[in-house]
Copies of this chain bind each other. A is one copy, B any other.
Amino acid sequence: MQSSPLLENLVEHLRCLPGVGPKSAQRMAYHLLQRDRSGGMNLARALTEAMSKIGHCSYCRTFTEEEICNICDNPRRQQSGLLCVVEMPADIQAIEQTGQFSGRYFVLMGHLSPLDGIGPREIGLDLLQQRLQSEQFNEVILATNPTIEGDATANYIAEICQQQGIKASRIAHGIPVGGELEMVDGTTLTHSFLGRREL
Contacts and interface: CB of A to CB of B under 8 A. Distances in A.
Contacts of A93: 1, 26
Q: This chain: how many copies in the complex?
A: 2
B26 A90 contact: yes
Given A16-B36, A31-B18, A50 B92 contact: no
Contact of A13 (B13, B16, B27, B43): B43
A196 B72 CA distance: 68
Contacts of A16: 32, 36, 39-40, 42-43
Contact of A63 (B7, B41, B96): B7
Interface string A5-21: 11101101110111100
A153 to B, nearest CB: 17
Contacts of A33: 50-51, 54, 63, 89
A2 B51 contact: no
B44 A48 contact: yes
